[in-house]
Amino acid sequence: MSRRWSVARTVVAVLGVVLVTAGSLTIGATPKAEAVGSVHAPIVGSGSTWSANALQQWIRNVWSNYQWKITYSESGSTQGRNDFLMGTADFGVSEIPYQIANSNEADVRPPRKFAYMPIVAGGTALMYNLEIGGRRVTNLRLSGDTIAKIFTGVITRWDDAQIKADNPALSLPAIPIVPVVRSDGSGATAQVSIWLRQQHTALWDAYCPAVGRPFVNGHCGVTSNYPVVPGSGFVAKSGSNGVAGYVAQPHAGGSITFVEYSYALNAGYPVAKVLNNAGYYTEPTAQNVAVGLLSAHINEDTTSPDYLTQDLSDVYTSGDPRTYPLSSYSYIILPTALESDFTENKGLTLADFGAYFLCEGQQQAETLGYSPLPINLVEAGQTQIKKIPGGNPAIKGITDCNNPTFSPDGSNRLANEAPNPPDCDRQGPTQCATGTGGAKDTPTGTGAATTNADANGTAAGAAAGGAAAASGDADTIDAAAAPVLVNATPQVIPVGAVGALPAVAMLTAGAALLALATVPPLLGKRRRKSLLPAAPTRGSPR
């Protein structure tokens, strides 16, 4: 019996030692409490106007639902990258990464640690203001070559033979074209200049000397600041609201600009359908953008500083008839270290905001004029937000993310279900009359004439200069509009580490087992000793 108890005590002691050791190691490996933010601190972001309509809506949503305070300055991609670099913004947003290839513009990487994460997809649209006989044109079609010639000053009038060839059903007016471009550093401009350099090299190269820009690696360089020839009739405005607001003015007949599709929808103005490599003219709907981006090449090298950035070369040349050629992603620039006054509490807000817009925010993308991210970029983005110090983001899986692109087999459902364009959108002698963009319900020739426009469609845009751009902004985006809320509930996911409480429990249990194994024998020994007869003292009788 005594031997069995001895064995049992040994087993208990060993188990106690194991628990104490495991608990000690766990406590040593448990992150410090301050590694995760305790409150959602206010954060500030800066950058892209291309993606601003989506970002500002998501910011309103999380404030209404969770009271996370996020302030975003629509300063343009270049300024957003600079603000993040200088540490004056907690995050930046841009359509292009730092130090983009084939550019001679200074754009150094920030000294602080960072990562890129896609936030939303969309199409850079050609929004325009054109009338024929006092009636709005809403079904304009343009080939890539035509667009390149318009924005390099080669084609200057709407009745040019090349534009007529794109639009066989329209009797285009003999009025000047007024190209409206960005005056600030813009990711949209950079994307357009990349497309011009790759797809319309000769035209872009010929434009460089006219605007005094140097060649980079043998060709006209990529730029975030669109170059303009003085006196050419081009108009330059700051921000997406600036260019869209200018075109949307009644007196800006004959004007055209490149801007994210969302702005044309909000302004109620049409966009040109762009000819793709399959011979169809398409507009940047969510589905056509999703199809186009199936051909994008994403940097999947996790060791690269440009991890998750995009190469759109094959998007431009995709042979799918549904493709919109000028499709792309926008990126948020995330801090990955506690630098430049970035704290754990700010990290808690930024990581949770990222988790929100990767899933719930994408549900609104199409309504807002964008295209939701596909599953591969959502999952990669979820990995990126885990790098934000202080964050503890709620990560949703395929089944509960509710992203419109997700499907059980991992393919892009939005792209899979995209319809083929109608025959009247095929390059040739026929042309669809249906409207596009913000004027999709107004077929060409059926809408009321613009009251302040000249009945003959005279272009007053160039003469007007920039005086009315500010009023155009107000017409484009209603800043007082009530926020659109989505059903959203905060989620909590288990922390990857075991945590301090379980570790303490293991230590306590281990100590108790050790006590159970060692204390009883000690007490028994002491008790047996007390029961022995007392030793005789010197001089006592034996």
pLDDT tens per residue across span 359-376: 999 999 999 999 999 999
Mean pLDDT of 496-518: 53
Averaged pLDDT, 239-245: 97
Quickly state the pLDDT bin for 408 (edges 50, 70, 90). Answer: confident
Q: How far apart are the first and last CA of the chain?
A: 37
Give yes or no for residue 142 having a pLDDT over 60: yes
Q: Using the predicted structure, report yes or no on whether residue 498 has a pLDDT greater than 50.
A: no
Q: Give me the pLDDT at residue 524, please.
A: 55
Instruction: Report which DSSP code applies to 425.
Output: G
Average pLDDT (30-49) is 81
pLDDT band at 520 (very low <50, low <70, confident <90, very high): low
The two three-digit tokens of residue 317, written as one number = 């040349």
The pLDDT tens digits of the residues spanning 424-477 come to 999 999 999 999 999 999 998 754 333 333 333 333 333 333 333 333 333 333
- Would you state the structure tokens that stand for residue 451, as one six-digit string? 């009251």
Lowest mean pLDDT among 179-188, 390-399, 416-425: 390-399
C-alpha span between 332 and 72 (Å, rounded): 12
pLDDT surpasses 70 at 535: no
The per-residue pLDDT of the chain, averaged, comes to: 84
Q: Which of the four pLDDT bands, split at 50, 70 and 90, describes residue 62?
A: very high
pLDDT score for 397 = 84
User: pLDDT at position 499, please?
Assistant: 45
Residue 510: count of CB within 10 angstroms of its CB: 20
Q: Is 128 helix (H, G, I), strand (E, B) or coil?
A: strand
Domains of the chain: 43-439 (3.40.190.10)
Residue 481: its pLDDT value, please? 38
pLDDT on residue 104: 83
